[in-house]
Structure 1
Amino acid sequence: MIDFSKKRALIIDDSPAMCSSLRTTLSNFGITRCEMSNTANEAVFRIRQREFDIIVCDYCLGDGSDGQQILEQLRKSALIAPTVAFLMVTAERGYEKVVSCAELAPDDYLLKPFTAETMRIRLERVFEKKDVFAPIHALIANGKAEDAIVECDRILNLKSKFAIDLIRLKGELLITLGRHDEARALYEQVVAARAIPWARIGLAKTLSMGGHDEEAIEALELAIAETPQYLEAYDLLAQVHEHKGNADLAQSILEKAVDISPNTLSRQSKIGEMAYRNGDLEKAKKAFGIVVNKGKYSFFRSHNDFVNLSRVLLDDGKHEDALSTIADARKSFDKTPELDLASSVMESLIYQGAARQVESEKALANALEIKKEHGLHLPDAVTIDMAKSCFLNNKADEARALVKDVISNFYDDEMVQKSVRKMLENVGRADESQDLIENSVSAVIKLNNEGVLLAKKGDLAGAIELLVTASKRMPQNVQVALNAAHALIVDSDRNGWNEANMQMAKSLIDQHFAKHQNLEKFKKISTLFKDISLKFGVKIK
């Protein structure tokens, strides 16, 4: 029996009466430390302030969001640990369909009405499973993924009733570590025994990472045919097709996923970006409009959503609507240099499109001043917009510097280069496109190679100075960051532990983890970092 008196709970429900009722229900089996939130934003604020053991959330909330959205955002943002029990409460008999196509499902859900005993039994079942997984999650949290796989195998050998969940986690860990062949064999074994959607998707991931795109597509299409509600398959299939250059097909695949589950705003945003790149302004406007409107009450919304919508409206010739959208962004968010700069850039472009030249120049001057004052590193789309405004306002030198900046950061990203070419064509400078891009790429490669050569010659101090400086100037360039991290780590290995250098190396690795963790080079340098830390018996937090 679980001692629930030691558990802290959070109830999320837009009805104060229902919150009180749920608190009474929880108190019937010993949960007395209980907080209540009537909105999603208040709930997220509380979760940021303290840790909870149990979250009980109503599916239908009255602030424009729902419990499923809250859960997915909390998990994707890593605001709740795997040890937290998340229960969804709903009167919707159709919730089973919602949860069946959700990438991130709650630990359990309860259909109203229910008794305190029913909730207690469900929570005990949830915590029983979490106790089994606790040592694995602890190892993962400490960066010991290899040991976590060993622990998975140990528990599997005990014939755990959670075997299928253990296998799923083991497969994800194998992929994270780049052990694709082992992961593929594991998924093939599961699929052969039982065609579980997540196993088919895991198999497709390993195929795609191994360069077998056609086989991955076949596996994903089969997964969708067998389980049309499993949305992660659509995401991965779209990703593979986009990688192969089939942008229109990738967009149509994501649109099918949105038809099934329209409330996942990250997918709507992805459709907006894809549609915009494909020149489909109507669908881009629709998708970004949904993101802005449905995310209005979300704790996780971003001013970039408004900027994206404004950009589409501008290209569609709707200047007043575009300005209104930026005005809404300025009113809806706390003033920050990032918001002020992105808004000023868009205002400059909108005024330029509306033939309001003086206002366009003034807005651009404000944006350039903010960038200079705060030394901001901008998202690629904002940098390209800013370069466009500079070209249109006769600031060609500043524009070229911005183009070089964005290419330096994304020199191996074909989509960014395509966006730069399109921008240069739109401002009548297509003839500069090839030289600007090629020279920028060549400069990065030359700098990178110089740093690597210095390291090979044994001049680690020179390599570190060159590459670390470059990584600060080009914070989104993963190759420069990894080479800088490598030089910093090797210096500690050869010359003795250097705390500052190793902290910097960890920072460089961490900032590229989310996007590039599956790169072979990333994995090798991450492993080297762990090995050298272990060699000196130091654990860096």
Structure 2
Amino acid sequence: MIQIPPQKPLNKLNVLVIDGQSLVTDTIKSALTEIGISTCKSAENAFYALRLCEETKFDVVLISFDIRSDKDGFNLLEELRLKGHISKTTMVIFLSADTSMELVNCVVELQPSDFWVKPLDRKKMEKRFTYLFGIKEKLYKLSYCIDKGEYPTAIYFAERQLKDPSLSQYYPMINRLIGESLINLKEYSQAEHFYKELGERYKYGWVQVNLARSLLKQDKMTEALALTDQLLERDDTRFSTYDALAEYYIEKEDYAKGYEIIQEATKLAPRNLDRNKKSWNLARLNHDKKGQYIATMNMAKFAKNSIHDSPDLNLNVIRSAIDLAASLTGEDAAKLITKTERDITFFVQEFGHDSQLKEQLAIINARMLNLKSDKKGAEEIIKNHMHTQSTSSVEDSLDKVKAFHEMGYWEESIRLLDSIKSKIESDSFLGQVINEYLDQESKERTDIRYSPKELGEMASSHYKNKRYEPAYELLLQAFTLAPRNPNMALSILKVMAKLVDEVSFDKNHLACLKKCKNTLDSIALSPNQQKKMDEYLAVIEQQLTSA
């Protein structure tokens, strides 16, 4: 059995208060003194908090969201966890005057011991401290085992504690840790029975969410979905239910459904970088270029000044903007190109001195020139970067793949894609999704040689010359690359309205018609777009009915 170090007595605990307001710090220290804790240090910002944590192992950390520094409390709490300054045995109390649902959801994800709303009341704090320290003392061994991943030992201690009547007020928390241990051990059937029994005694939301999770893990879909439908109606369970469902569909490689659910969860707690990264990669798989752009912007915004902050995040915003602009036409494309040019200028001002970013910026500039139909200028840049060896950065290499393909260097594009694929590990969620995306890219870049914008322009030329079949085939390729673009769907309907007189529609034509209608029905169309859609559909349906 694991060797567990002795627990510190109450008067030996080290406490850290991270808050920029001296009145808050003084009130907390006063409450701690009343219950026998005198060792309490304070930091007014993230910089000093991190320095103190490097010098001392704190048993209790109170952290304010609105600390006066370059990091907010959320980012700092996440960094303290990642650096190992906070573990399962650390009591963490989050402080905030902001009680918006978005912030609360984000904080709950980091699982603090408690969440206190400012302004603070000393007497209430004393009572709450006493309660929390009681939990900390009684559940120390159990928490330590879970912290070390020793789940069988954790269950052993928990089951013994459930036989102690003096711990009855802690039974819900002990049971919660048993259930989580069973799921971590992949004992899903046992977890299901455990949570069903708990559900007869407790009305807590986590009981039902984890029951749903254990059912999903066993593919008991009828029962699981009936339960998740109920849980999605509840404010206290909606967020964690989305996570459980997304996890299930991604494991089953149903990336469209997983993406749909991830998007809903991201709306509730947009600060979570891992979820935004999943959303970004799933958006790519689902050809949602606008979704890619939004996800990369969220990542850059919420990682600002955090441990995750990096110039690469800003590069990815620019790259996804270029991808999106290449799928748009007219004023929408022009506006995005103008904004992206400003973003590139700002990026160069901030990070242009870094020689390691020289090639990335060159590739981006080449793609921008190509986007503005300056192929000669784009090719002059690309010729200096024709080596097709992939780099350690998947995103850098993928951007070069896109540049090669856009310039017409199709063989080089496919060779580089193959080189990237050989270096991706597929035993993680990210590896699984990126591999799937690379396979998709490889097939599409082999079969489709041009961008949606270029395909649209070629189709337009055929349409003007009444060559409707080649126009239709080109638009199909464009729609494969940009299936969420309403203008592309309308263009296909426009061609189909002419084509329906010339050919007999088969099941492929009808499937395309349905896909276009679904795309347009899912988007808020302008009055002019709606009018065109209705006109085209009326012509097509009239011809199909009379045929």
TM-score (norm 2): 0.64
Instruction: Show the counterpart of 1:84.
Output: 90
Q: Which amino acid aligns with 1:170?
A: I
- Check the 8 A contact 2:89/2:144 in 1, yes or no: no
Question: Which of 269, 278, 287 does residue 279 from structure 1 map onto?
Answer: 287
Distance 1:395 1:257, change over 3 A: closer
| Distance in 1 (alpha carbons) for counterparts of 2:380 and 2:106 | 55
Question: Structure 1 residues 305, 100: closer, same or farther in 2, change over 3 A?
Answer: closer
Q: 2: CA distance between counterparts of 1:257 and 1:395?
A: 38
Question: How many residues align structurally?
Answer: 422
SS at match of 2:307: coil
Residue 267 of structure 1 is matched in structure 2 by: 275
Distance between the aligned counterparts of 1:397 and 1:253, measured in 2?
36
Partner of 1:190: 198
- With over 3 angstroms needed to count, the CA separation of the structure-2 counterparts of 1:156 and 1:78, relative to structure 1, is farther
Instruction: Read off the aligned partner of 1:306 and give its amino acid letter.
Output: N
Amino acid at match of 1:56: L
Asked if the contact 1:351/1:360 (under 8 Å) is kept, the reply is: no
3-state SS in 2 of match to 1:271: helix
Deviation of residue 100 (structure 1)?
10
1:218 and 2:229 equivalent? Answer: no
What aligned pairs does 1:247-266 form with structure 2 within 5 A after superposition? 247-266=255-274
Contact 1:188/1:203 (CA < 8 Å) preserved in 2? yes
Conserved? CA contact 2:285–2:436, under 8 Å = no
Question: Does structure 1 residue 181 correspond to structure 2 residue 203?
Answer: no
Bigger drift between 110-119 and 95-104 goes to 95-104
SS in structure 2 of the partner of residue 194 of structure 1: coil
Match of 1:511 in 2: none
C-alpha distance 236-141 of structure 1, shift in aligned 2 (>3 A): closer
1:400 matches 2:415: yes
What SS is found at the alignment partner of 1:178? Answer: coil
Q: What code does the residue aligned with 1:406 have?
A: K
Structure 1 residue 313 displacement after superposition: 0.6
Secondary structure of the 2:89 match is: coil
- What does 1:30-49 align with in structure 2 at a 5 Å threshold? 31-40=37-46, 42-44=48-50, 46-48=52-54
Alpha-carbon distance in structure 2 between the residues aligned to 1:100 and 1:422: 33
Change (3 A) 1:242 1:140: closer
Matches within 5 A, 1:130-529: 130-159=136-165, 160=167, 161-227=169-235, 230-244=238-252, 246-317=254-325, 318=336, 321-322=339-340, 325=343, 349-350=367-368, 353=371, 355=375, 356-362=378-384, 371=391, 376=392, 378-379=393-394, 381-389=395-403, 394=409, 396=411, 400=415, 402-407=417-422, 409-410=424-425, 415-424=433-442, 427-428=445-446
State the Cα distance separating 1:236 from its structure 2 match. Answer: 1.9
Distance 1:385 1:128, change over 3 A: same
CA contact (8 A) 2:105 2:269 kept: no
Letter in 2 for 1:51: K
When residues 294 and 397 of structure 1 are mapped into structure 2, their CA distance, relative to the original with a 3 A threshold, is: closer
Rounded to whole Å, the distance in 1 between the matches of 2:163 and 2:357 is: 53
Higher Cα Rg: structure 1 or 2?
2
| Aligned-residue offset at 1:197 | 2.3
Task: Kindly provide the CA deviation profile for residues 52-91 of structure 1, in whole angstroms up to 9, marking residues without a partner as x.
Answer: 1221122334558654554456446654112212122334
CA distance in 1, matches of 2:133, 2:352: 39
**How much has 1:403 moved relative to structure 2?**
1.7
| SS of aligned partner of 2:232 | helix
RMSD in angstroms over aligned alpha carbons? 4.1
Per-residue Cα deviation, 1:509-531 (whole angstroms, up to 9, x for no partner): xxxxxxxxxxxxxxxxxxxxxxx
2:524 aligned residue? none
User: Is contact 1:384-1:423 (8 Å) kept?
Assistant: no
Q: Which residue of 1 aligns with 2:488?
A: none
Deviates more, 1:383-392 or 1:167-176: 383-392
Structure 2 Cα separation of the partners of residues 338 and 45 of structure 1: 30
The TM-score, its normalising length taken from structure 1, stands at 0.64
Asked whether the 8 Å contact 1:55–1:84 carries over to 2, the reply is yes
Q: Secondary structure at the match of 2:62?
A: strand
Cα displacement string for residues 65-123 of structure 1 (whole angstroms, at most 9, x for unaligned residues): 65455445644665411221212233456689926982344222334444444433322
Q: Identify if the C-alpha distance between structure 1 residues 189 and 65 changes in structure 2 by more than 3 Å, giving closer, same or farther.
A: farther
CA distance 1:4–1:328, change in 2 (3 Å): farther
After superposition, the C-alpha distances for 1:314-361 in whole angstroms (9 at most, x for unaligned) are 112355655665676677789999877766765665566554233344
Aligned 8 A contact 1:100 1:229 in 2 = no
Gaps in structure 1 of 5+ consecutive residues: 432-541
Does the CA contact (< 8 Å) of 1:204 and 1:220 recur in 2? Answer: yes
Q: CA shift at 1:257, angstroms?
A: 3.0
Q: Which amino acid in 2 is paired with 1:384?
A: L
Residue 287 of structure 2 aligns to a residue in which SS?
coil
SS, match of residue 102 in structure 1: helix
- Which of 97, 110, 133 in structure 1 is aligned with 2:116? 110
Residues 325 and 134 of structure 1: CA distance in aligned 2, closer, same or farther (over 3 Å): farther
In 1, Cα distance between equivalents of 2:51 and 2:364: 31
Q: Distance in 1 between matches of 2:205 and 2:348?
A: 43
Q: Judging changes above 3 Å, is the alpha-carbon distance between structure 1 residues 240 and 30 closer, same or farther for their aligned structure 2 residues?
A: same
| Cα distance change on mapping 1:350 and 1:25 into 2, 3 Å | farther
Q: Percent identity?
A: 20
Quote the Cα distance in structure 1 between the aligned partners of 2:246 and 2:292.
16
1:526 is matched with which residue? none
Matched to 1:232, the amino acid is S
Q: Could you tell me which of 9, 13, 28 is aligned with 1:7?
A: 13
